[in-house]
Structure 1
Amino acid sequence: MSKIVDLLFSEGNIVTTISILVSATIAMIVLGVNQFYSNRRERKKLICQKIEEFYEASIAYTNACDKLITDIQRMTYRCESGYYRNDPAAYALFEQSISKMEMLHGLYFQRIDFDSEDYAITKMPLIWAANSGELARNSVNADDVYKASRAHINMSAEHLSELCKELMRKHMI
């Protein structure tokens, strides 16, 4: 070991040793900076993908709500008893979109104003009235519950759109 140290720091090799040490230090710094910026760029790219997924889930939610309300309005899934069923595909899309937004909110966007309870099926009184038979028994005003449900859909679409726009502004690449 002492022979190696003597060889490295002898009069003729000291310049070579210093240049090797400086080059190695510069290479390590450049590698570290490059890794930092590469990780940062990948993180931003991932966040942008998640914002896109959140936006797509919000659009799917709005479309599913619209489909469920329109089906009731057109009496598409009305039973002979007067009760209504929901389109299983539209209801599944409704549930999946809320779950996806909830997951993305919890994992990536905790700071935004999102509460999945604000988008629950109970927020659309027309669906409850149709499924419970209240609509068939005329114990609720169909126009009022329809308007309230449509208002919820419009308000939800607007709120979700604002959330997505806020996320896009905050996380621009």
Structure 2
Amino acid sequence: MFFTKKRNRESNIQSLESLIESARIISEDMYLDLVKRHPAEQLMDANKWRSVIFLTSLGTGLLNDSFAFKEDRMKKCLELLGGALNQEAFNYLADYLKYISNVVLTNGSNDELIYEYLGSWLYMSINQTNDFVEEKTPPYMFAGTLIYKTFNNFLDKNQFQIK
């Protein structure tokens, strides 16, 4: 039994490391793709875009069908990585997961609706505002759709199990 727990822990660490690496890669690649597709004035703060895309991708990967959002489980996931994220990043993830869990629980799992809410989250996070200007949202909606399609159930797909 001891070896099974150790093997599960090692497998979970590999899954989380894979999630983090995938989120890092997509944050860079997606930003470069967005620059090609959308006017530069909508994508002004590259570092902000990259960090928000990274953390939102990571958070989306942590939201899985096998375990609905629970802050204690997310803490366990992050603890497995030895504190790879600072407190500010952890707080962002906690806020995002509460937001997106509420969307899924309240509105069901209609993918199109989730894309819109995810795009709205990106817009509000990157622009640090609650004011929403629909004409400026296409890059955020595009990014939200790609993040959700790529990272939804990431850990379930990698057979991650945490109790």
Q: Under TM normalisation by the shorter chain, which class is it? A: 0.3 to 0.5
The structure having more radius of gyration, on CA atoms, is 1
TM-score by length of 2: 0.34
TM-score by length of 1: 0.32
